[in-house]
């Protein structure tokens, strides 16, 4: 019983975490993943993405029994009907979720037991660019701010180190701050 309790930290099985890291280090080809989302327009600003299968560790992963459905839209002030968060808000969510997960994993690996991780993420945007009203403002966020409140069984300095290490390892943080090439293909009927 003690062995099991010692391997689970912050809801993370650290024994499996380290075994996974060791396996990927020994077989780097297992680190190749491809995540996918399919999207379909419904009406106006309302559209829906579905997410289920993905490629991981050398093969197609079919472990998910059901697909995730994410509805997106725009608020009324941007001509929508509030059918879901807008895409920019989903980006903020993705950033917050990835950083939080990274904090939890890093803390678990470093024997830090967390009691709370909360964040507020803000994105400042001048929508004139995206609306095509003015070419001066960029189409996307001008600035994103992330504020964390992290508590656990470690001193403040250690908790700050955990957050910094998580920032360095967050995939979404990397994509947002470094950019990623996007290829667009179009088929028409």
Model pLDDT, residue 144 = 98
Model pLDDT, residue 1 = 38
Pairing of strands 59-61, 68-72: unpaired
Q: How far apart are CA 32 and CA 57, in angstroms?
A: 6
Model pLDDT, residue 2 = 39
DSSP structural state of residue 112 = P
Model pLDDT, residue 122 = 98
The mean pLDDT value of the chain amounts to 94
Is residue 23 in some structural domain? Answer: no
Q: How far apart are CA 30 and CA 32, in angstroms?
A: 6
Model pLDDT, residue 7 = 85
Report CA dihedral (87, 176, 168, 37) to the nearest 10 degrees. 50
Is there a single domain that holds both residue 67 and residue 124? no
Counting Cβ atoms within 10 Å, is residue 117 exposed (0-12), middle (13-18) or buried (19+)?
Answer: buried
CATH value at residue 140: 3.30.300.20
What percent of the chain lies above the pLDDT cut of 70?
A: 97
Give the pLDDT band of residue 21 (cuts 50, 70, 90).
very high
Given the structure tokens 């470093």, which residue do they identify?
110
Is there a single domain that holds both residue 105 and residue 149? yes
Q: Is 182 helix (H, G, I), strand (E, B) or coil?
A: coil
Q: What is the average per-residue pLDDT within 13-38?
A: 94
Residue 22 in this model has a pLDDT that exceeds 90: yes
Residue-wise DSSP of 108-166? HHTTPPEEEEEEEEEEE--THHHHTS-SSS-SS-SEEEEEEEEEESS-HHHHHHHHHHH
Model pLDDT, residue 118 = 97
Give the pLDDT band of residue 167 (cuts 50, 70, 90).
very high
Is residue 154 in some structural domain? Answer: yes
Residue 4 in this model has a pLDDT that exceeds 90: no
Structure tokens at 32: 């190749």
Is residue 24 in some structural domain? Answer: no
Q: What is the average per-residue pLDDT within 76-103?
A: 96
Is residue 15 in some structural domain? Answer: no
Model pLDDT, residue 70 = 97
Is residue 37 in some structural domain? Answer: yes
Residue 5 in this model has a pLDDT that exceeds 60: no
Is there a single domain that holds both residue 111 and residue 166? yes
> How do residues 107-152 score in pLDDT, each as one tens digit?
999 999 999 999 999 999 999 999 999 999 999 999 999 999 999 9
Is there a single domain that holds both residue 75 and residue 92? no
Model pLDDT, residue 30 = 94
Alpha helices in 77-117 (DSSP H): 87-109
């Amino acid at each position: 019983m003690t062995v099991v309790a010692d391997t689970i930290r912050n809801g993370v099985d650290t024994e499996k975490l380290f075994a996974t890291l060791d396996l990927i280090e020994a077989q780097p080809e297992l680190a190749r993943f491809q995540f996918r989302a399919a999207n379909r327009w419904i009406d106006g600003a309302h559209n829906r993405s579905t997410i289920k299968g993905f490629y991981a560790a050398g093969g197609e992963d079919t472990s998910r029994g059901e697909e995730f459905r994410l509805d997106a839209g725009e608020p009324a002030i941007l001509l929508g009907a509030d059918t879901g968060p807008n895409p920019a808000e989903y980006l903020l969510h993705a950033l917050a979720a990835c950083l939080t997960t990274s904090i939890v994993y890093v803390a678990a690996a470093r024997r830090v037991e967390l009691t709370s991780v909360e964040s507020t993420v803000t994105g400042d945007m001048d929508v004139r660019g995206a609306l095509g009203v003015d070419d001066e403002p960029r189409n996307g966020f001008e600035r994103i701010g992330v504020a964390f409140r992290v508590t656990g069984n470690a001193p403040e300095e250690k908790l700050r180190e955990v957050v910094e290490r998580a920032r360095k390892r967050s995939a979404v943080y990397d994509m947002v701050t470094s950019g990623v090439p996007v290829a667009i293909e179009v088929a028409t009927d």
